[in-house]
Amino acid sequence: MRKAISIMTLDTETASLTGGVYDLAFVIHNKKGVIVERFNAVVRETATDADKMMGAYYARKMFTHYLPMVADQSIPLLHWSAIVEAIQSAILRHNVTVIAAYNLAFDRRVIRATHRHLGFKGSIVPAGVAQLDIWEYACRARLVLKKYRDLARSLGWVSEAGNIKTTAECAYRFTSGDHKFIEHHTALQDAEIEAEILAACFAAKGPVPYNIVTGQPWKLVNAK
């Protein structure tokens, strides 16, 4: 596969594990993580559905984060159709060849579910654009290293089941050197740190797992 000219890293916040995207962001960047465009919007159809939002894990942020930003116009409240148009326009404008996300299986699933639920059909991303799960890549290129596994155990980045954690938060702590970093769990800020994680993976210069979405890359790290 030819080298990616331009990458779109996406992130979503959702009202449930199966759909209801209410916060969507993407950043356009190169392999070094240099960002040339940022996009972030609150999904009007989901955010104004009180019943749906009450089930959102981070629902309190609608009042502490999103509503103040919508009010001061620092983040737009857009219909889903406008958000889809923004994604498609950015792909064409920047000649995007790779769509990436940390746990791509999740973001892909909830975006598709939201698209269908709101009455839309067809694919959002054009055919021929490669897919890259940053979680998969990070586990293969960075988190499988003994240095990470030793650090994670020493600092308690271990699940209740005894597995070394491979979350975006932990991956960023390792690749950035900021061992106390706390993930924001807002789409734009998370997309930005995920682009940095991806840049660290590319810098490792190993094989790139394009179009490989296993949904369980944590097993690679914990098999050692």
Residue 82 confidence (pLDDT): 98
Q: State which fold the 7-222 domain adopts.
A: Nucleotidyltransferase; domain 5 (3.30.420)
pTM: 0.93
Do the beta carbons of residue 20 and residue 183 sit within 8 Å?
no
CA–CA distance, 41 with 26 (Å, rounded to integer): 10
Least confident residue range of 56-70, 92-106, 134-148, 201-215: 56-70
- Per-domain boundaries in the chain: 7-222
How much is the average pLDDT of 95-105? Answer: 97
* Separation of alpha carbons 53 and 46, rounded Å: 7
Tell me, what amino acid is at 131? Q
How far is Cα 75 from Cα 170, in angstroms, rounded to an integer?
Answer: 27
Say what the pLDDT of residue 183 is: 92
